[in-house]
Amino acid sequence: MKRTVEQNRSYVKDTRTHAVVNSDRSAYLLYMSRVKSARQSEDNLKSAVREINILKTELKEIKELILKVTNGS
């Protein structure tokens, strides 16, 4: 059996398990949208960091080659 929580009508309490569940579907969908957006932002940041690290490695290799060429001449 479920009962509505007095302080907030969008919450329902399951009397058997004593769990409080948010029954507001639009709030849930908004929350999930924010979670998805946050994950996507995090993935974009990780991708940018990977790309920067690759560029740093390549730049280091280029520097080493330039030093070899200039010191070898």
Phi, psi values for residue 14, rounded to 5°? -85, 115
Paired tokens of 69: 């060429």
pTM metric for this prediction: 0.62
Tens digits of residue pLDDT in 17-51: 888 888 889 988 999 999 999 999 999 999 999 99
The torsion of the CA quartet 53, 57, 58, 63, rounded to 10 degrees, works out to: 140
**Rounded percentage of the chain residues whose pLDDT exceeds 70:** 90
